[in-house]
């Protein structure tokens, strides 16, 4: 029954299976195809922002090496699984012991979010990598290569994944919409792209959630991710800038209640809006605001009361607005 009920996650459903299906990162794909050809490879380090296809490339590489049975020869270790170094050691040990694939002289361990490991754990990892190198190759996946210790970097061939271009992401979303028979509006997709920050997986997830509400419109996207419509945030900012502090504050309260916005949500949205072209703020005010928003954001992160801090922010904006006009 479950298949029927849990629809697949689109991010999984539309993930390329083979290296040949990957449309971006051409240079990297070319290099990886070499490894498939030669049936040999060193340890690899895939680095780059989230959603640029690192995991996809690793899995596709495995698919191309081992064919349909690839799952047998691949051990995937995720950051969110139990992953003390001892667990890793044991799992790898177990895995390394199992039979080797017919014609490829090694198996693959894929270690996601390797940059989240402490330096000490990475040292231990390095030793594990050396110990089982005869039969096992590691693919380390990281967002920030600078967090990977040198000794590992120098033992891996590293590959840098670059952010996807806007047209690539939007193109892909369009294509999925057609496959799924979903009605989508251009500005809806654009907003998804912006919010996702170029992260393909995130973009597809948002698309799927939005589609559940009906058509992919700007309003629906914001509803799905639990944020206010930018227009309303701008209204509040404008009220404050006009010195209508109390009004601004009341409107903000309403907004938070209606959309269920947290303080951090509001701060982030305000931050985005003060830089939008749709709001008229003198340059110098923008600067001061940007600084103060940073301060307020930090306070809320540290556990301060949303309402008091946001009021303080509006107060500052009102003061600034007064000085200007």
Partner 1 sequence: MSHERGIPWTLKYRPKTLIEVIDQEEAKSKVIEWLNKWPNVSKKALLLYGPPGCGKTSLVEAIANEYGYELIEMNASDFRRKTDIERIALRASTSHSLFGFNKKMILLDEIDGISAREDEGALEAIQELIEKSNAPIIMTANNPWNQNLRILRDLAEFVQLKKLTKTDMRSMLMRICKAEKIICNEDAINYIIERSEGDLRAAINDLQSVGEGFSEVTLERTKLLLRPRDKEKDPFETLRSIFSANYSWQAKAVINQSQLDYEQLKMWLEENIPLQYTNLEDLERAFEALSKADLYIGRIAKTGDWDLLSYAIDLMTAGIALSAKNSSKDKYRWIKYSFPQRILLASKLKEIRSIRDDIAQILAYHLHVSTSVAKNEIIPLLKTIFTTDPLKAAKIALGLGFTEKMIEYLAGTNKNTILEHYRELKKRVVSHHRSKPSKSIESNNEMYKESVGLNKNSKKEERNLFAFSKKK
Number of helical H runs and strand E runs in the chain: 16, 5
- Total number of residues that touch a copy of itself (CB under 8 A): 121
Q: Closest distance between partner 1 and the C-beta of residue 170, in Å?
A: 19
With CB under 8 A as the contact rule, which of the stretches 15-23, 61-69, 170-178, 265-273 interacts with a copy of itself?
A: 265-273
CB 45 within 8 A of CB 159: yes
Q: How many Cβ atoms are within 10 Å of 49's Cβ, its own excluded?
A: 15
How far apart CA 119 and CA 132 sit, in angstroms, is 20
Residues 222-251 that bind partner 1 (CB under 8 A): 224, 227-229, 243, 245-246, 249
Binding at 93: pick from partner 1, a copy of itself, none (beta carbon under 5-8 Å per type): partner 1
With CB under 8 A as the contact rule, which of the stretches 164-172, 184-192, 231-239, 253-261 interacts with partner 1?
A: 253-261
CA distances from 103 to 39, 57, 181 (A): 8, 21, 42
Which one of 20, 42, 98, 231 is in contact with partner 1 (CB under 8 A)?
42
The residues pairing with 159 across neighbouring beta strands, listed in sequence order, are 46
Binding at 37: pick from partner 1, a copy of itself, none (beta carbon under 5-8 Å per type): partner 1
Phi, psi of 140 (to 5 degrees): -95, 135
Residues 259-298 that bind partner 1 (CB under 8 A): 259-260, 262, 264-265, 268, 271, 275, 283-284, 286-287, 290-291, 293-294, 296-298
Q: Closest distance between partner 1 and the C-beta of residue 309, in Å?
A: 6
Q: Does 278 bind a copy of itself (CB under 8 A)?
A: no
C-alpha 192, offset from chain centre: 13
Which one of 19, 46, 53, 55 is in contact with partner 1 (CB under 8 A)?
55
CB 143 within 8 A of CB 49: yes
Would you say how long the chain is, in residues? 325
Of 127 and 178, nearer to a copy of itself (C-beta) is 127
Q: Does 150 bind a copy of itself (CB under 8 A)?
A: yes
CA-based R_g, the chain, Å: 24
- Total number of residues that touch partner 1 (CB under 8 A): 117
Q: Does 121 bind a copy of itself (CB under 8 A)?
A: yes
How far apart CA 281 and CA 278 sit, in angstroms, is 10
C-alpha 66, offset from chain centre: 29
Spatial strand order in the sheet of 156-160: 74-77, 107-111, 136-142, 43-47, 156-160
Residues 49-108 that bind a copy of itself (CB under 8 A): 49-50, 52, 78-82, 86, 105
Which one of 83, 107, 172, 316 is in contact with partner 1 (CB under 8 A)?
316
CA distances from 235 to 156, 167, 195 (A): 52, 31, 20
Residues 77-116 that bind partner 1 (CB under 8 A): 78, 80-81, 84-86, 88-89, 93, 102, 105-106, 112-113
Q: Does 34 bind partner 1 (CB under 8 A)?
A: yes
Residues 154-183 that bind partner 1 (CB under 8 A): 154-157, 159-160
Phi, psi of 159 (to 5 degrees): -125, 130
């Amino acid at each position: 029954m479950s298949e029927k009920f849990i629809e697949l996650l689109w991010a999984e459903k539309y993930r390329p299976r083979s290296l040949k299906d990957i449309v971006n990162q051409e240079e990297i794909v070319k290099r990886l195809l070499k490894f498939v050809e030669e049936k040999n490879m060193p340890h690899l380090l895939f680095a780059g922002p989230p959603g640029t296809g690192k995991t996809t490339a690793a899995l596709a590489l495995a698919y191309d090496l081992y064919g349909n049975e690839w799952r047998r020869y691949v051990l995937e270790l995720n950051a969110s699984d139990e992953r003390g170094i001892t667990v890793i050691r044991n799992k790898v040990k177990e895995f390394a012991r199992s039979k080797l694939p017919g014609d490829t002289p090694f198996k693959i361990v894929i270690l996601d979010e390797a940059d989240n490991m402490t330096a000490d754990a990475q040292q231990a990892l390095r030793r594990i990598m050396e110990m089982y190198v005869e039969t096992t190759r590691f693919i380390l996946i990281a967002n920030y290569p600078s967090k990977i210790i040198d000794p590992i970097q120098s033992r891996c061939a590293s590959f840098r994944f670059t952010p996807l271009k806007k047209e690539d992401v939007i193109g892909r979303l369009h294509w999925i919409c057609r496959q799924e028979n979903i009605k989508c509006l251009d500005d809806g997709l654009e907003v998804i792209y912006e919010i996702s920050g170029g992260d393909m997986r995130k973009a597809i997830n948002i698309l799927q959630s939005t589609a559940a509400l009906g058509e992919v419109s700007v309003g629906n996207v914001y509803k799905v991710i639990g944020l206010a419509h930018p227009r309303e945030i701008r209204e509040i900012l404008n009220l404050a800038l006009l010195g209508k502090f109390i009004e601004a504050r009341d409107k903000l309260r309403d907004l938070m209640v209606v959309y269920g916005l947290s303080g951090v949500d509001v701060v982030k949205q305000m931050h985005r809006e003060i830089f939008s072209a749709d709001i008229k703020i003198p340059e110098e005010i923008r600067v001061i605001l940007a600084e103060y928003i940073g301060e307020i954001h930090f306070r809320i992160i540290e556990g301060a009361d949303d309402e008091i801090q946001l009021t303080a922010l509006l107060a500052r904006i009102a003061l600034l607005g007064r000085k200007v006009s």
